[in-house]
Structure 1
């Protein structure tokens, strides 16, 4: 056998080491074309793999394997090449052979784990990576495989413990610290064992997460003490500024504890806009969650910020958010409009869509166009996944359906869904639930009920998953029909629907308008809320009108008994509304004032948390005064202490008044179950017609006005007949419980009928194009 000249081999090897892969490949090939070399076939195969030519790498690697069957690196390289060609079974064999030859081969261990990861065999990966960690305890990549397997098996707390133990033993590894930070987002309430272990982390970055863990345990005093102790140990560490402690506390819903630190930093540098903005955000959080009066200071500071920077996106966002949080959408929207006009792709564009539904000054066509144009841009940024669907295309088989929502718990969506979901016919549909909440702090008793009914194998916590990863999981679950229950509300996953995660995609329940996405195929509604005709022109989805409405309401277990109408004792009628203040536009107040004028001596009671804001109270009283209603007739109250007390407060009103531009839904059902009729005037939009549908279900179409004059006539006549109000109040709960609004089983049948029609249509259309979800209209 001829032996190659050392200089030719060395030249190719040096090119390889310098990163000139193409030059190295050419050199190795030139070398092997003329003479043999004991290492060149192996190195050529490695270089070809590095250049993405796995198929071409097989020949030289097979040559090397035949020449040196006991060379473990060759088997390892074969495993990598075969894995790159998705020949996973052969890749497993090659890596296993490498490990037989060299049980301590780290590349073989990593490669074998990588194939198990690609296959999604999480149990096998967990076992293999644990064994590999015994031989390579300090390898961060092996740690990553262990973490990935546990995360996919919903065992994130175990993964966190592994990661912390690794960092205690091998501090300062950047990759492991990154895994630790990523995992931390999934652990909302760290356990005692994990917390104790985190306290032993030797570096400031890890200790900062320990402080956040204390904050998550709602221990602000412990978090502050730990932060101060860490600051003494690391006096030059930039992570340990007082401002960062404010961020930590605020990020863990301890805004009140965070305020002194953020305020102190803002006072040190009063011209620093970023610090001022962070203080405003803190006050806004407190106002929303615990102290509504903080809105006043937040608004004043936001005005200062905006005066300094009239066109700055952050200043416009801050002012809009403060006003929106204070239930002043008409004042907030101009700031959002200016923001989007100057920054068309700003993330707030989607949130603005929700706010537009409150604006009674804009036409339905303008609001639809805003949704449609947003959807167009969003779909450009979130392309459809390339792979065709692998779902069985039998139109009559049992369907796999999934509901995706951040609100599968104590939330109005959960209230409307909890009596429908358990009624699904398991012979017709197999149901999955994807909850976009954090498992640790979002698993309230209602969430636990959903999870128990679904079963752990049909439940997935999705918060924190990327859109790509969640979409692939939905496809892997072979979901036929994906139903989104959020739309443009907080923590929705429209990014997943834009990627076309399922063959058929539906919008329902959580959002009172179109999503604006053409990749959402259908939207559930009914013929009262969206009569056929112009409503269809304002929807990117096809409207599927259910025959018995699209709501079923779960009466809370703590619902009080119905009381007599207060007018019997008081001698005058009290109108009232407990709707979100965002819904109370000027047009509603004007119409209600006219009704009050028509019913001498009557009062109106308005209750909402943001009425704690002085500016809101004064504004509302001024609006009524402009229409001739004295202040003594307008009773403004903040929210009640708990839900049972909220329901009991319906004892204080005789007739509920529905806002014009955005009706109540939960609030309407609350009133009806407490025996209080709701007077409503339908408009042109979905949001302004929901109560008309709800009233029809309980047989109260006579409380649905044709126009403003009819609205006043209905209210005035009812106010003159307290005995009729008393009789209706006595009967109304029973009527509600006997209506479609309490019939989850019938709603489930209506949904299943709709799902079957949608699926048959997709199966027919997909025969010509596997990406096509639609054919002719249903």
Structure 2
């Protein structure tokens, strides 16, 4: 049929009838023929485009609608539907052009003009032009207040701009017109979550899910919310519901893996990620996330090589992830792979600093710059939804005691409890009511049982959401909440973001600035935070006398110490030791240590065995420096009392630099082994110096790397001087501040009383120096 002749009504009706009754293949064949027969006829192509769009084939609809739009330049409807098709194909720049033509052709205030503006707002949002999108959509809502779709989309753009309050108001207005609008309820949950109103967000999502019980995206989203809030059991339930509705919801499967990881079910977590990876083809962003999350589960399962490989796979897909890069660097340091130091150097000026947070603790052992540490911590702390309600104001306790709550995952056989056992034992319970809130997954054992008898209550909150834990603590009338974890493994900073107490402080677990506005104080001393570095700590400081670190003067040392021969050490040679975690050891320290071995005949370096790869790497590095690999001796894990006993067989403890020995330094000093340190700038790099001042051995604090090496070498060669140091340490253990457990606890209690008094007086937190 000649192209100049339009299709007859019968031709069009036949095509429409086939569209209505199918089958689809027959319709597509007829539609193709129809389009080929009238390729330049605007009416034919307009009809064809509409039918293709109705079955979701926008790739076929767009060329037809484009022809119709070119032929009908002044037809607002033709321009609008062409713009909508381009939008469906995510060709948003072209869509904006078509929609602009539609708006120009439509009468002002008409429904066509409003719809063109509405779709314009959607494309602007898709192009990340959020401010422009919000402005256009606001005009649509002003002209058509009952347009709930426009209100909903306006709220989404407001959320992208961080304007959570306005988005919530906009969505509530939409729901006033249409209470059952499921998408608006889901987006309301997002706005409420942004405001930290987790319970209200959960209620909105549960209402949406009840209205649309077959929509798997709603329990999937709810599961993510509950996971973030720390309510793991509830998160697991709803994520399994989402997967029962649609087993292909890979984001739900990823979140379920994260739940299992947090619950300590590492094998189940890895299985979730691996199943999701088999189905994630074509979604590189999700693949990168799954590889990373699988790596973190493998890391906690101590499969470090596999974990590193997983993070490398993730970074190959998403090389911009600062978080994963920092974690990979940390894992490589745990295996003695010092290529990590070179990678950090290449990214140091932006890693965790350019609006992409990293876990602050992941780089402490590498970067001794307190300004960068604070910046990383502040950026990371933005992740928590902060409770916006006024500070809790607990009524005075009937017995006039100050109520203190300690929060940790480590109330078991852990370094924190080795240090703090004496604190709990010596607290003045007539003046302080002590509650321990435990959220760890490790079994309790004798340490936990002892603790239970030393506190007023020991509460297991492992299965509770952050907001629930904070509410429970407020119900207990806490005056002071103490975060013993900071940014270490299994930390729950969200509890403090929800304000467990009117005064909150960070102590012991994380040696650095929190960057969190909801932590009022950092417990420190004059050595770990010297005056010249004070500006790099956002909290107010509680400056304790002696040392910030507690110690237990009742720590047991086994009666029998193995001989050097039994420990694999030379009977007559000099034994340098460092029982710090492997990730703290870098090239600077190791180069010095190997030079010491080269200059002290028959000497060895005694280290803590961490993992087979780390041992292999360090032995290789020794060989590269001309030191026989067997001169590195690795000690297996031992029970605390046995470890302290064997430590006495060492001659001299050598400290690491950016992240000193902390508990391990106290172990050495309690066991009678002198320690040489070289302080850095940041808190973590100054702890050993603080310990040495507190035990009365400042002479083993070196000013720089050169002095550190010279001092260690002199002590190794001058056995009389070393013996005098050991004798001084033996005497000072019982007469100086470091191991004065009751005195340290009393100073801490004076600090608690001081910050509590300031709060009762209505005074804001301020630095407090305890004499």
Q: What is the TM-score of this pair, normalised by structure 1?
A: 0.59
Equivalent of residue 308 in structure 2, options 296, 299, 305: 299
Aligned to 1:705: 702
Equivalent of residue 545 in structure 2, options 544, 547, 554: 547
2:657 is equivalent to residue 660 of structure 1: yes
| Conservation of the 8 A alpha-carbon contact between 1:383 and 1:499 | yes
2:363 is equivalent to residue 356 of structure 1: yes
SS of corresponding position for 1:385: coil
Call closer, same or farther: CA 1:564–1:401 in 2, change over 3 Å.
same
| Equivalence map 1:472-491=2 (5 Å) | 472-491=471-490
| Conservation of the 8 A alpha-carbon contact between 1:402 and 1:431 | yes
Call closer, same or farther: CA 1:504–1:666 in 2, change over 3 Å.
same
Call closer, same or farther: CA 1:564–1:542 in 2, change over 3 Å.
farther
2:409 is equivalent to residue 409 of structure 1: no
Output the CA distance in 1 between the equivalents of 2:759 and 2:655.
40
Aligned to 1:423: 426
SS of corresponding position for 1:559: coil
| Equivalence map 1:744-755=2 (5 Å) | 744-755=741-752
| Conservation of the 8 A alpha-carbon contact between 1:564 and 1:726 | no
- 1:663 Cα offset (Å): 0.7
Output the CA distance in 1 between the equivalents of 2:659 and 2:335.
17
| Equivalence map 1:322-337=2 (5 Å) | 322-323=331-332, 326=335, 330=341
| Conservation of the 8 A alpha-carbon contact between 2:648 and 2:672 | no
Aligned to 1:108: none
Equivalent of residue 721 in structure 1, options 702, 706, 718: 718
Aligned to 2:164: none
| Conservation of the 8 A alpha-carbon contact between 1:358 and 1:583 | yes
Call closer, same or farther: CA 1:426–1:651 in 2, change over 3 Å.
closer
SS of corresponding position for 1:453: coil
Output the CA distance in 1 between the equivalents of 2:648 and 2:429.
42
| Equivalence map 1:238-257=2 (5 Å) | 253=264, 255=266
Aligned to 2:468: 469
Equivalent of residue 389 in structure 1, options 389, 393, 396: 393
Deviation by residue 1:574-624 (Cα, 9 ceiling, x = unmatched): 2121211111122222333443454355332333313x116x743x45655
- 1:265 Cα offset (Å): 8.2
- 1:687 Cα offset (Å): 1.0
- 1:754 Cα offset (Å): 1.5
Call closer, same or farther: CA 1:638–1:775 in 2, change over 3 Å.
closer
Output the CA distance in 2 between the equivalents of 1:540 and 1:206.
39
Q: Which moved more, 1:383-392 or 1:723-732?
A: 723-732
- 1:418 Cα offset (Å): 1.2
- 1:690 Cα offset (Å): 1.0
SS of corresponding position for 2:473: helix
Call closer, same or farther: CA 1:641–1:277 in 2, change over 3 Å.
farther
Output the CA distance in 1 between the equivalents of 2:653 and 2:769.
39
Deviation by residue 1:543-584 (Cα, 9 ceiling, x = unmatched): 222113223334654635456788996443221212111111
2:682 is equivalent to residue 679 of structure 1: no
Call closer, same or farther: CA 1:774–1:705 in 2, change over 3 Å.
closer
| Conservation of the 8 A alpha-carbon contact between 2:270 and 2:298 | no
| Conservation of the 8 A alpha-carbon contact between 2:370 and 2:533 | no
SS of corresponding position for 1:659: coil
2:363 is equivalent to residue 366 of structure 1: no
Call closer, same or farther: CA 1:298–1:491 in 2, change over 3 Å.
closer
2:564 is equivalent to residue 582 of structure 1: no
Call closer, same or farther: CA 1:305–1:372 in 2, change over 3 Å.
closer
SS of corresponding position for 2:403: strand
Q: Which moved more, 1:483-492 or 1:295-304?
A: 295-304
- 1:460 Cα offset (Å): 2.2
Output the CA distance in 2 between the equivalents of 1:641 and 1:335.
38
Deviation by residue 1:352-406 (Cα, 9 ceiling, x = unmatched): x11232124x52222223334444x357x41442365243499x94322222222
SS of corresponding position for 2:528: coil
Output the CA distance in 1 between the equivalents of 2:310 and 2:767.
54
Call closer, same or farther: CA 1:703–1:561 in 2, change over 3 Å.
farther
| Conservation of the 8 A alpha-carbon contact between 1:596 and 1:629 | no
- 1:282 Cα offset (Å): 5.0
Call closer, same or farther: CA 1:706–1:412 in 2, change over 3 Å.
same
Call closer, same or farther: CA 1:272–1:653 in 2, change over 3 Å.
farther
| Equivalence map 1:524-563=2 (5 Å) | 524-531=523-530, 533-554=531-552, 556-557=555-556, 559=558, 561-562=560-561
SS of corresponding position for 2:453: helix
| Conservation of the 8 A alpha-carbon contact between 1:246 and 1:262 | yes
The unaligned stretches of length 5 or more in structure 1 are 1-19, 21-49, 52-117, 119-140, 145-173, 189-203, 210-233, 767-771
Call closer, same or farther: CA 1:625–1:325 in 2, change over 3 Å.
closer
Call closer, same or farther: CA 1:276–1:388 in 2, change over 3 Å.
closer
Output the CA distance in 2 between the equivalents of 1:314 and 1:283.
13
SS of corresponding position for 2:762: helix
Equivalent of residue 310 in structure 1, options 300, 306, 319: 319
Call closer, same or farther: CA 1:464–1:653 in 2, change over 3 Å.
same
- 1:337 Cα offset (Å): 8.1
Output the CA distance in 1 between the equivalents of 2:273 and 2:628.
39
Output the CA distance in 2 between the equivalents of 1:323 and 1:538.
28
SS of corresponding position for 1:524: strand
Output the CA distance in 2 between the equivalents of 1:489 and 1:398.
31
Output the CA distance in 1 between the equivalents of 2:237 and 2:536.
51
- 1:534 Cα offset (Å): 1.7
| Conservation of the 8 A alpha-carbon contact between 1:317 and 1:335 | no
Output the CA distance in 1 between the equivalents of 2:559 and 2:710.
31
Call closer, same or farther: CA 1:275–1:502 in 2, change over 3 Å.
closer
| Equivalence map 1:70-469=2 (5 Å) | 253=264, 255=266, 282=294, 285-286=297-298, 288-290=300-302, 294-311=303-320, 319=328, 322-323=331-332, 326=335, 330=341, 340=352, 344=355, 349=358, 351=359, 353-360=360-367, 363-375=369-381, 377=382, 381-386=385-390, 389-392=393-396, 397-438=400-441, 441-455=442-456, 458-469=457-468
Deviation by residue 1:695-727 (Cα, 9 ceiling, x = unmatched): 233332222223333322322222123355467
| Equivalence map 1:490-529=2 (5 Å) | 490-529=489-528
RMSD between superposed Cα atoms in Å: 4.9
| Conservation of the 8 A alpha-carbon contact between 2:377 and 2:513 | yes
Call closer, same or farther: CA 1:337–1:253 in 2, change over 3 Å.
farther
Aligned to 2:688: 691
Output the CA distance in 2 between the equivalents of 1:762 and 1:322.
42
SS of corresponding position for 2:684: coil
Call closer, same or farther: CA 1:323–1:762 in 2, change over 3 Å.
same
- 1:501 Cα offset (Å): 3.2
Output the CA distance in 2 between the equivalents of 1:464 and 1:249.
12
